[in-house]
Structure 1
Amino acid sequence: MSTKHMVRRFCAFVPSTARGTSGQGGTNCYDTCVSTNKYLGDGLVSRTPLVLVHGNPETAAIWGPLIGELDRADAVVLSPPGFGVPAPRGFDSSTTTYRDWLASQLELFRAPVDLVGHDWGGIHVAALAMSRPDLIRSWASDALGVFAPDYLWHPRAQVWQQEGPGEASVQELWGGDLQQRLAVTSALGMTGRMAERVAAGMDPEMGRAVLRLLRSARQPTMAEAGRLLPSAAQRPGLALIAVDDFERASGTLVQHEWAARRSGARMAHLEGVGHWWPEETPAPVAEALTNFWAELPDPERAPATDSRA
């Protein structure tokens, strides 16, 4: 695949809110992302590529405010198949399949990336850090708590993990019209533009992906995956701990802290930050990420290496 084609492929995932907003009407996707060439050209980089992975029930549109706070219009947003983009034929939407999908996307870069994940995206990021550290310079996740041995899935997830009740729940949540889906996102705690953007992206395919994903993650699957957390310490990590995520869908504070220690990750306790921070409270997260990256080694002229070699 040519560099130009790879750039176009990545650009498909960049939210419109991250593109230019000048009086000239902004820039189109290709113009915004063409700088990705420096990541994909000869394997030498002048700036570490930033890759963002979202979760459930989200689409790439949630990242616009964070990208703006970071002033990183060159950021690459990857949408897990089924979540805002179609899933390939035969894609089984399991935890390991998403991990391998993410690795396949990062292999298209010729330099290690700074990888950030939210919600299920954070789980995919941590799984990648445990298995393919050669693809990343650093990683950051807000969902490490799910790898704790005593983690219990939140009530909605437990319903989705059941045959029958799960299908009924998905039909209720994902099967309605836009106004009904807006009511769902509001009930999940989203407000304003985020609720609207997420509701617009919810569709039956996403609901089916949710069922397959959550059923592949029934305990003890996540607890067993957590045994590999020390492997993630091969690259610098940051645990983004949203202190005001009161539903604790991704784990309690104690579980987040336990997993962070096991993975060697630094901890950012984010006061006043809730679960839907990518749009609602991006500034403190952007500050934590910026401070974290500032302490990492200079990536200049640092080609990627494959730890499997």
Structure 2
Amino acid sequence: MSTKVVFVHGYPDTHRLWDPLREHLRGYDTVALDLPGYGGSMPDGLTGTRWELAEWLTGELRRFRRPVHVVAHDVGGMVLHSVLKNNPELLRSWALTSTCDPDWSWHHNARVWQTTTLGEAARDEYLGYPREWQIIGLGEAGVPEYHAPVTAEHYDATMFNAGLAFYRSSVYIGDWWPEENAELPPGLVLWGNHDRYQAPQHGVKLAARTGARFVALDSDHWWPLEQPKAGAEELRRHWAAVERG
């Protein structure tokens, strides 16, 4: 397959989320992006709102000069909805987890982050913990044990503040829900069947609305870490069907 594959992570992750999955996709031309402020400095003039992330991702995809396959998870998946709605010509195909279903309500953690003062208190409490406590907390939130130290290493104040900006700009995100009968590139909705943050039925609903194939993997929220081999197999099947036309 000659088409480039672009991976977009979520919160609180970096491009490293995709490392286990990409190990099973050797031979493919892949690149994993870091969202602004995630695992590095925040570019001047940005804070991390969903509109900024959408503009940023659109710009990154335009750099490739031809449509690409995009795989996105969590916040990255929601931001990809904006590209699907406003710039679908940039995509050869798409695969994602997490939807902008207007009937969905944010989970508890997100509602805390969306609340002024509470979000800052949660940030300061987390950042004040010793690293080993941070790792334990991430594990309790569902990050697989083997990857929690990697997440903790890069989950700093810059990323936390970027997350606050995203979630506060996303109290309602249903305006990115795909239009009914919209002409979209081929899609795949990949979901953990035990996802604690957004139930699989929202993925089923997105697949039905877009004509995408829905696949449930035996995992919690972080399927790229929990089921990388199975996820890679589904992606290869998806891309092969797209390339065959």
- Normalised by the length of structure 2, the TM-score is 0.93
What is the match of residue 7 of structure 1? none
Unaligned runs of 5+ residues in structure 2 are none
- 1:189 equivalent to 2:142? Answer yes
Q: Is the 8 A contact 1:62 1:197 kept in 2?
A: no
For 1:281 and 1:298, how far apart are their aligned partners in 2?
26
Cα distance, 1:199 vs structure 2: 0.7
1:283 maps to a residue whose letter is: K
Equivalent position SS for 2:243: coil
SS at match of 1:193: coil
2:172 corresponds to 1:226: no
Write the deviation string for residues 154-192 of structure 1: whole angstroms up to 9, x where unpaired: 000000010111110111224434223212211212233
Residue identity over aligned pairs, in percent, reads 33
How far apart in 1 are the matches of 2:104 and 2:53? 21
C-alpha distance 195-256 of structure 1, shift in aligned 2 (>3 A): same
Distance in 2 between residues matched to 1:83 and 1:229, nearest whole Å: 33
Query: Given the alignment of the two structures, is residue 285 of structure 1 paired with residue 237 of structure 2, yes or no?
Result: no
The 1:170–1:197 alpha-carbon spacing in structure 2 relative to 1, beyond 3 Å, is: same
Q: Choose which of 8, 14, 25 in structure 2 pairs with 1:70.
A: 25
Tell me if 1:81 matches 2:27.
no
Q: What is the TM-score normalised by the length of structure 1?
A: 0.75
Name the structure 1 match of 2:80: 125
Match of 2:190 among 208, 223, 240: 240
Q: State the shift of 1:257 in Å.
A: 1.2
> What is the Cα deviation at residue 268 of structure 1?
1.2
The residue correspondences of 1:1-309 to structure 2 (distance < 5 A) are 47-72=2-27, 74-144=29-99, 147-219=100-172, 222-226=173-177, 228=179, 230-231=181-182, 233-245=183-195, 247=196, 249=197, 251-270=198-217, 272-297=218-243
| Distance change >3 Å, CA 215–CA 47, structure 1 → 2 | same
Q: Contact 1:160–1:169 (CA<8 Å) still a contact in 2?
A: yes
Q: Which amino acid aligns with 1:58?
A: D
How far 1:229 moved relative to its partner?
Answer: 6.5
Q: Structure 1 203/107 Cα, relative in aligned 2: closer, same or farther at 3 Å? A: same
Paired residues of 1:117 and 1:140 also in contact (CA < 8 A):
yes
* Equivalent-residue separation in structure 2 for 1:50 and 1:254 (angstroms): 27
Number of matched pairs? 245
Question: Which stretch of structure 1 is more off in the superposition, 109-118 or 182-191?
Answer: 182-191
C-alpha distance in 1 between matches for 2:109 and 2:165: 14
Aligned counterparts of 2:159 and 2:133: Cα–Cα separation in 1 = 16
Mapped contact 2:4–2:28 kept (Cα < 8 A):
no
Please name the residue that 1:27 is paired with.
none
Higher-Rg structure is 1
Q: What whole-Å deviation, never above 9, does each CA across 1:98-121 have from its counterpart, x for those lacking one?
A: 111001111111221100001111
Q: CA RMSD in A?
A: 1.8
Give, as a single letter, the amino acid of the residue that structure 2 aligns with 1:239.
V
Moved over 6 A (4+): none
Query: Aligned partners of 1:229, 1:204: CA distance in 2, in Å?
Result: 39
